Each structure stands twice: as structure tokens, then as C-alpha cells.
């Protein structure tokens, strides 16, 4: 049985003028969602955020907070989904998260053809950001008449049990009075 525990928080950001994030102060936000997966056998997914307009996602990152059993977690990826088939946000083939430890980071780290990035917290590391990795922004275009989501999908096995705390920074694409809203689900 797959269960999820969620909480949401929307908070304004207070970055200095001129910062890459300063555009978020009044035109977007930060949403936080915690996903707990128990016994996700086979193909599983969890809707992280719903949105009601086209959005510009500046960053989406997950921090692993529990890893009771991740021996069979494979094909991990981010997707957008509405009324039809899922649209990849990261490489559809996914990545194995079998070695993740508490405090590991999972994030989008390049264009759609790039697998979900996973840094295991078992060793100290420093990584330079390049044009492709700096926040890895992307756009998600709203589908009318459907509930639109950004979700985390993976394949699990018996006893799969882990928790990832997700954070997304975003802003609406339309500034013509049609404002998008994002909610952690």
C-alpha cells in the first residue's frame, strides 16, 4: 500500500534586488512538500505540486530525510501530468536511488534529456555550477480543463520505505493579469 503524508507552506522570498531570485519577491513563491513512501511496489508516483497556470520553475530539489529501505528504488524521475500521458521533466528512464542516505539531495540538474541528479550524502563534495546546472530552470505550460501536477515517479519493491522533502521555487509565466498559483499537495 502506498501512503503519503504532506504539508504545505507558501512563503514570500526576501532576496536583495539584483539577485537572480529577486524576481520572485512579488511574482512567485516557494512551495514545500514532504513525500513519505511505504511499500511502493512496482510503478509508483506522488503528486508534489499542483498548478493552475503556466509556470517558470527556477529550482526543484528534494532532501532525503528517511531511508528505512531503498534497496529497490529505481527509475526515479520528475514528470508533469494533467489529463493525458506524463511529460518528462527529467530523463524518463530515471535513475536508481538504491544507495541514498539521509541528507542526500535529489534534483533536476540539466535539460529534460538529463537523468534526475542524485548526490549521496555519504561523502563531502563540491560541485561547480554550469549553465546547464545553475538552478536548471524550465517552463511548464498549463493544460486547460485538467488538474496539472508536477510529480515524483519511481519503481519500488516490497518494503520500500523512504521520505523526501521537496522544495520548488517558481514564478508565473503570464504577467497579463492571468496569475498562476502553485500548491503543495
Question: Could you report the per-residue pLDDT of 43-69, keeping only the tens digit for each?
Answer: 888 899 998 888 888 888 898 888 888
pTM (two decimals): 0.77
Q: Are strands 42-51 and 148-156 parallel, antiparallel or unpaired?
A: antiparallel
- The percent of residues above 70 in pLDDT, for the chain, comes to 71
Residue 33 and residue 6: Cα distance in Å, rounded?
A: 6
Sign of CA dihedral 156, 66, 87, 130: negative
Identify which has the larger pLDDT, 73 or 122: 73
Residue with cell 535529489: 106
For 106-138, the DSSP string reads EE--SSTTSPPEEE-TTS-------TTTSS--E
Burial class (CB in 10 A: 0-12, 13-18, 19+), 177: exposed
The average pLDDT across 102-113 equals: 87
Identify which has the larger pLDDT, 39 or 55: 55
- Give the fold, CATH level 3, of 9-184: Jelly Rolls (2.60.120)
First and final CA of the chain: distance in angstroms?
19
pLDDT category, 15, cuts 50, 70, 90? very low
Amino acid at each position: 500500500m502506498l501512503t503519503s503524508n504532506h504539508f504545505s507552506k507558501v512563503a514570500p522570498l526576501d532576496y536583495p534586488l539584483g539577485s537572480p531570485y529577486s524576481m520572485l519577491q512579488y511574482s512567485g513563491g516557494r512551495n514545500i512538500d514532504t513525500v513519505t513512501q511505504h511499500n511502493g511496489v512496482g510503478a509508483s508516483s506522488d503528486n508534489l505540486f499542483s498548478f493552475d497556470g503556466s509556470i517558470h520553475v527556477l529550482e526543484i530539489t528534494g532532501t532525503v530525510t528517511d531511508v528505512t529501505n531503498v534497496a529497490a528504488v529505481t527509475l526515479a524521475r520528475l514528470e508533469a501530468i494533467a489529463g493525458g500521458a506524463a511529460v518528462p521533466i527529467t530523463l524518463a528512464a530515471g535513475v536508481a536511488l538504491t544507495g541514498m542516505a539521509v541528507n542526500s539531495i535529489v534534483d533536476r540538474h540539466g535539460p529534460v534529456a538529463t537523468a534526475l541528479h542524485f548526490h549521496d550524502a555519504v561523502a563531502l563534495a563540491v560541485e561547480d555550477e554550469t549553465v546547464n546546472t545553475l538552478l536548471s530552470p524550465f517552463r511548464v505550460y498549463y493544460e486547460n480543463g485538467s488538474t496539472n501536477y508536477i510529480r515524483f515517479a519511481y519503481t519500488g519493491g516490497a518494503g520500500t520505505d523512504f521520505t523526501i522533502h521537496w522544495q520548488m521555487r517558481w514564478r508565473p509565466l503570464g504577467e497579463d493579469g492571468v496569475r498562476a498559483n502553485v500548491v503543495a499537495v
